[in-house]
Amino acid sequence: MLAVRGLSVRFLLPGGVRVAAVTDVSFDVAAGECLALIGESGCGKSVLASALLGLLPGNAQSAGAARLGALDLLTADERTLARTVRGRLVGLIPQSPAAHLTPVRRVRSQVQETVAALTGVRGRAAVREAAERAAGRAAFPATHLDRHPHELSGGLAQRAATALALVGDAPLLLADEPTTGLDRDLVDHTVDELRAHVDGGEGRALLVITHDLAAAERIADRVAVMYAGRIVELADAKDFFGGPGPRHPYSRGLLRALPDREFTPIPGLPPELSDLPPGCAFAARCPRADTACAAPPPVTDGTACHHPHTREGSRDLQEGSRA
């Protein structure tokens, strides 16, 4: 469905400063699959999503390839992206939904406009009914459809954006923090609806970007862990969250920080993307680091690390959780 190869994004700032937001990222998302992209804030996840949809600012430079079928999203022109890709081939649940809703129009008119544009439904009553069904899929209350975006809470704005993204039943759904502002019951409802989108028809896939590891565990088939602009681990979700557990020390740190695990934060802070070290970017925070980590890490079995945990040695993460 989606094949990303060597995707890099650089921002050029005043004074000649270059920010390496995304570096040499490669992954696939197959039809019928959900890939969860996780990692701390500022690691490049949302920049990656913006690159796939041609929504990068003017001071950004991208390289690599991102193929959706025969179409390379990185080289497609704005006309193709606007008329063919966004909404029709790729549905987006944005990280900041309020900024993507038109402030002077009621939510109902925005959903109905999207229904008419993407589904071919015609007739006032039919479009109205289809809009209310879309709202229901996202658990957006019909009583709030006639409100303006500024009258919505953050959670309601998130659900409105989800409703808009689901309207076109796009082959690829890109969900950037789709559970922000939602309580746990609504988180479960939302991720179940997104999963149903993938499972409800042939040739559909989901790329979800999230900080919510419980949501990722509930929905994902595979997990990609991002750190300092790079993917440091790609793993099967069942192995990552249970079974043998993750191999990269950073991935293990993310799981150990969960309240239902050890609730132990990863010490230190990520490096500045404008001043990345020449070797492993996680070395300064890693308990397993040594002099070898001054060189770029090799990638073995989907893990970019000089000293990855073995599958057998990773089991202590689950044992510690049970203890």
Q: Give me the domains of the chain, ranges plus CATH numbers.
A: 2-89+170-322 (3.40.50.300)
Supply the DSSP symbol for 270.
Answer: P
CB neighbourhood size of 75 (10 A): 12
Model pLDDT, residue 125 = 94
- Which pair of structure tokens corresponds to residue 276? 């990345």
pLDDT tens digits in sequence order for the chain, 323 residues long: 999 999 999 999 998 899 999 999 999 999 999 999 999 988 999 999 999 999 999 999 999 999 999 999 999 999 999 999 998 999 999 888 877 899 999 999 999 999 998 888 899 999 999 999 999 988 999 999 999 999 998 889 989 999 999 898 899 999 999 988 888 898 998 999 899 888 877 789 999 999 999 999 999 999 999 999 999 999 999 999 988 899 999 999 999 999 888 889 999 999 999 999 999 999 999 999 999 999 999 999 999 999 999 865 444 544 444 33
CA 55, 58, 59, 65 dihedral sign is: positive
Name every residue whose Cβ is closer than 8 Å to that of residue 116 and which is 6 or more positions away in sequence.
Answer: 122, 127
Supply the DSSP symbol for 266.
Answer: P
Model pLDDT, residue 312 = 57
- Provide φ and ψ at 209, rounded to 5°: -105, 125
Model pLDDT, residue 169 = 85
- Provide φ and ψ at 305, rounded to 5°: -165, 140
